[in-house]
Amino acid sequence: MGYQLDFGKVLRGEYLDLILQGVQTTMVLFVLSWVFGLVLAIILTVVRAIEFRPTQLLVAAFVEYHRNVPVLIQLFVWYFGFAVVLPDGVNDYLNDIGAEIGYAIVALALNKAAYMSEDFRSGMRSIHPAQMEAARSMGLTYLGAMRWVILPQAWRLALPALLGQTLILFKGTSLAAGIGVAELSYQARYIEEQSFRIFEAYGIATAIYMLISFAIMWLSAVLSDRFRLRVK
Partner 1 sequence: MLEIIREYGLMLLVGEYPHGKLGGLALTLIISIVSLAVTFPCAVLIALARTGPLRTPKAIASGFVHSVRAVPLLMLIFWAYFALPIVIGFPIDATYTLILAIVVYQAAYLGEIIAAGIEGLPKGQSEAAKALGLGYVPTTFRVILPQAIFNVIPGIVNQLTTIIKESSLGSIIAVSELSYVMLQVNSNEVTKPLQIFGILAATYFILCFALSQATNWLERRIANRRTGRVVVEAVA
Residues binding partner 1 (CB under 8 A): 1, 3, 64-65, 67-74, 76-77, 80-85, 167, 171-175, 177-178, 185, 188-189, 192, 198-199, 202, 205-206, 209-210, 213-214, 217
Residue closer to partner 1, measured from CB, 150 or 204: 204
Residue closer to partner 1, measured from CB, 49 or 73: 73
Cβ at position 65, least distance to partner 1 in Å: 7
184 φ/ψ angles, rounded to the nearest 5 degrees: -55, -50
Cβ at position 58, least distance to partner 1 in Å: 16
Residue 63's contacts (CB-CB under 8 Å, 6 or more residues apart) are 44, 114, 117, 118
Cβ at position 199, least distance to partner 1 in Å: 6
Residue closer to partner 1, measured from CB, 35 or 69: 69
Cβ at position 206, least distance to partner 1 in Å: 5
Residue closer to partner 1, measured from CB, 36 or 202: 202
Under DSSP, is residue 23 helix (H, G, I), strand (E, B) or coil?
A: helix
Say how many Å lie between the first and final Cα of the chain, rounded. 63
Cβ at position 67, least distance to partner 1 in Å: 7
Cα separation, 225 vs 204, whole angstroms: 32
Cα separation, 172 vs 62, whole angstroms: 19
Cβ at position 10, least distance to partner 1 in Å: 14
C-beta of residue 163 within 8 angstroms of C-beta of residue 133: no
Residue closer to partner 1, measured from CB, 136 or 171: 171
Find the length of the chain. 232
User: Residue 220: what residue type?
Assistant: S
User: Residue 187: what residue type?
Assistant: Q
Residue closer to partner 1, measured from CB, 132 or 167: 167
Kindly tell me the sign of the dihedral angle through the C-alpha atoms of 85, 88, 94, 98.
positive
Residue 121's contacts (CB-CB under 8 Å, 6 or more residues apart) are 45, 48
